[in-house]
Structures are given as structure tokens and as C-alpha cells.
Structure 1
């Protein structure tokens, strides 16, 4: 035990806090062994989102979409959940596991999409459409989920909206590109869409996708519906410029399933670049290439080896959700699950 404690002191002394997060510790075998030891000592399970650094994904007990991970957290026997992702994801885990301790390795890891609508803004929007039903993407804060009628994921957003009385107005938030995709598929005219976006996905544009498709005519396309290029992908398929059976609009969880069933030797991927690590593990014989290799989320990458070590050593940063807010938010998530096809997260 003394040797293990000494190893911890050696590693933790290297941790430095900078503007982009905690640094100073590399993902060495010594680090990995210490992470595992500390997790056992704290009776903690480590969850990592698909967009995390490869070394964080590889040390985690479970890797996946945010909602899928939150549901795993609720069923896990461990008392402590270490959520390697952004803040709204850790909040969702706390909502579904109110009696467990939920930690995020760096509480500064936010989300531009979740931040694109506040509870106050949603209250004002609802006041404009008092009879409308609110559908919120899981990429929202607990306070927004508490004001929501039904949550959705990117994999089930179409099913959730289609389940609503066609005469009922719908307020869909916060992602404008996912909302446009749902409106296009359902044909619903009485659907109002909040103009929020993920800055990473919005930056993957149609021109880039068109150029990649033109220069890789035999590839398949995996496109996340949050992307600014999703409409371009469907246009390519609809116009016959790219085979429709090779264009797939998918959640991150859906991409893993599609990778295992892919018929092409190459797949162009339009989402955050962290997803490539899991895709390559799922189908090692396929060449997965990013549509935009700069599509990296600075917030996701704040969960560094140093941040995870600090989290387990210092028992930080704990995520709290007010019990009343959590209860209301839990209802909106459970209504989604009751509809069926809860999918994963984003």
C-alpha cells in the first residue's frame, strides 16, 4: 500500500491547472494502474463519452452516448459515478441516479449546445405558445429538462415528435439542425425550432462534405444530424450524386452499429473526431476518415489524464442537481423512454 501511495503522490505532484484544463500527467501504464486502484478504492465506475480522448475511453469501464451511459450509471452497483464528458451529461446521470455521488473530472467542461438556451429563455418561449408541447434534446441542462414535456435523443427524435398529436404545436430545442432533420422526416408544419447549435457540428459544412464525397466515390457517409452538412448529405442522395444506400444520418450510438454492418472499405464520418476511436475499434478493417479533421470539442478534451487522476484522488468535482428540478427533469426523460426506442444519447 505504501508503494501505491507513493506512486499517487508522484503522479499528483505533476498535475498543473491551466486555461485549457489540467495537464502534466500522461496516460502511462503507471497512470492506468493508479486510476484503476483508486476507482476500486472509491467504489466508483468510470464512464466515458464517445468524444473523449482515446486514453480516457480506453481506461473507462463503459463508453457510449450520454443517455446510454446515464442509464448504465443508474443500474451500476457502484456508489460513485465518474462521468468523463461534459457537464450536462453528468447532470443527466445525477438525475437518473439521485442517491449516488456523481463526479466530473473538470466542472468547467461545458457545452455550447446546452448553453444555447437557458431556463429563462425557455419560459419566455413557452409563454408565446402556451398550448405547445416542449421536446428537448438530451443535450440540455437539468433546468431546461425540468421545463420539458418529453426529452429526445438524436436516434429517437423523429419517433418522439411523431408520437405527438399532429394538431398539437411542438417547440423543439435546442439544436436547429436536428430540428430541421426531424421536421423534414415527419413533414410536421406546426413545429417551431430553437436556433441553437453545437459549434463543432455546425462547423462541419456542406462544401467540405461535398468535396469529400466527390473525392471518395466508393465510401459510405456517416453524418450526425447535429451537423450543418446533414442537409447536404441528403441532397447528394436525393439528387443521385451519391448512392442513397450509402448515406446514413446517425447518432453516435447508431454509427457503431452501422460500422459493424458497413459494406464499403472506407467511411467518411461527419461528427466530433473522438468518435473515430470507437469506430475503428468496432470495425478495424474499415478506413474511417473525418469529413473535417478539425472538428474537436475543446470541452470534451478538458477531461485529461491529469483531470481524471485529480478527480479520483480529491473526490472532485461533484455534480449536484436540486431535488425538485431533478424530479421534473426525470419525468421528461422517463416519458421519452415510455414511448419506446430510447436509443442512446446524442
Structure 2
């Protein structure tokens, strides 16, 4: 199977991108592993005609928006992001009508339609910087309320938040952090900004998945408790031999991220399906929001 995947990649001029939360075997066959925006930017930059995006729906959409001339394939079409689906474009339009003076910041973990209704996108790593860049004193932030809460710690602006959340990060509890510290007293606790405020209060470092990778490499600490989806630990262990990583909760699993398999990747290369296509006008407006963020 691996031989056929390699041959088809070469024949098609294809690249395989895998998110940090993907299963280990899928990460192993990828050309690049990273966070959603990191991978979408790579898709646009790489000289590849076909992008096999091992992740969830909004990630493949973002790649298609940034690479309209390329064929973007999502091997597991049924892999969707519950948080991205917690707000619809019409919901955001209603919110904009209620707060006409507010700027709209959209977390990149959202649908193309939501991005198209927004002024600018952000990631979990640059949300504070994006909000600070805006002239408006009121900011509508969608869809993640926990990330909105985290950003509000660093700004005087009024944040009008939607009540969406990532079900994986939202389930972490302060009790789990306290238990992890007792079990691993020398470990540094890293948590994602999608976690609830009380969990963030107890962490040593709050950072995106890419930030966790950088922190693990740079830190002199040998043990880490990781407060994000458990798939991240596979990459951390692979890149940091000798260091030890413990999940804040072994149940922190995104079931949709686990729907991609090597077999589905092979099928996607054989058939070039299922392809992800974003309507032209939606893509144009969404691209504007993404590119405004990238210009910062």
C-alpha cells in the first residue's frame, strides 16, 4: 500500500498534508504535518497539482480557498468539525445587524460561508494580535467562546462572543490539571487556548498546537502534560526523543479527526475524490478575510 501511495503521489504531482490530530499511521505517510492554517498555506505554496488533506472539512475548504487552481481532496468526506458547524452564515449576519459598529473576527476553525461574512480571520496563535490590529472598539468573535475569553484577557476591546466551542478542549477540567500535577510533579502543563478559563488559569503555558511543538523543543523540561487532542502527542514524541508527554485526559479524542486512514488516503489518490470545492463568490470573500490576517 505504501509503495502504491508513493507511486501515485509521484505520478499525480500530489502532496499529502496531515493535521496534528490525525492518527499516527496517517501522520507517518504525510509530506507535512501541522496545524490547519500552516497546512493550508503550504498547500498554496507547494508546487503540487493535487492536495490530499488529512483533516476535517473546514481545513480542506481553507486549502481550496487559498489554492483555487489545485484539486483538494478530503479522504474522509464524513470528517466534519462540530464547532465550525455551531454557527451558520445567517446567524452571523443577524449578529452583525445587532452590532453594526463591531468588526467581525472569525476563527479559522469555521466554514467558508462564515469566513465570507467576516472582516478578518485569526488562528489560536494570533488571535490576540488580530484583535489588537483592529480600529474598532467592539469585536464580534465567532465561533469559539473559550478562545474569545482567552483573547479578552489581553485587550480592552469589548468582545461579543458566540457560544460555540470545541467539544474536546471544552471537556478538560481544573480537577484533571490538578491530578496531572500530582501524577507528574516535574512536568510542564501546556494547554490550548480553546480550553475553559479555569483550565487556562492552572496551566504553565497556553499555546496552539504549533506552539506546543516549539515549546517542547525549546524547553529544558523533560516531561510535559499536553492539554489538547491526544493525536498531538504522537508528533511530540516523534520530534522529541527522550522527552515524555502525558495527555491531560486520555479521552481527549476528536472522533472526526480519526476517520482518516491510510486506506482512505490510497483510495483518494486512486480516484481523486472526494474533492472539496468552494463556490466562487464565497471563496472570494473568504479569501479576503484570510489574506487580511496573513498580511499582519
Question: What is the TM-score with the length of structure 2 in the denominator?
Answer: 0.97
2:295 counterpart of 1:338: yes
Task: Compare 301-310 and 146-155 and name the one that shifted more.
Answer: 301-310
Distance in 2, Cα, partners of 1:74 & 1:265? 36
1:51-81 Cα distance to aligned partner (Å, 9 max, x none): 0011111101111011111111101111111
Out of 135, 141, 161, the residue aligned to residue 172 of structure 1 is: 141
Counterpart for residue 46 of structure 1: 16
Of 139-148 and 256-265, the range deviating more from structure 2:
256-265
Q: 2:127 aligned with 1:127, yes or no?
A: no
Is contact 2:193-2:200 (8 Å) kept?
no
CA distance in structure 2 between the aligned counterparts of 1:280 and 1:57, rounded to whole angstroms: 13
Distance 2:227 2:156 in 1: 25
The question of whether the paired residues in 2 share the 8 Å contact of 1:259 and 1:282 is answered with no
1:326 to 1:148, Cα distance in 2 relative to 1, 3 A: same
What count of residue pairs does the alignment treat as equivalent? 296
Gaps of 5+ in 2: none
- Matched with 1:184 is 153
1:42: Cα distance to partner?
A: 1.7
Match of 2:167 in 1: 199
Which of these two proteins has the greater Rg computed from alpha carbons?
1
Structure 1 residues not aligned, in runs of 5+: 1-30, 238-246, 340-346
Superposition pairs for residues 1-346 of structure 1, below 5 Å?
Answer: 31-165=1-135, 168-188=137-157, 190-228=158-196, 230-234=197-201, 236=202, 247-339=204-296
Deviation for aligned residue 1:214:
3.0
Report the aligned-residue RMSD: 1.2
Q: Secondary structure at the match of 1:102?
A: strand
Q: Secondary structure at the match of 1:78?
A: coil
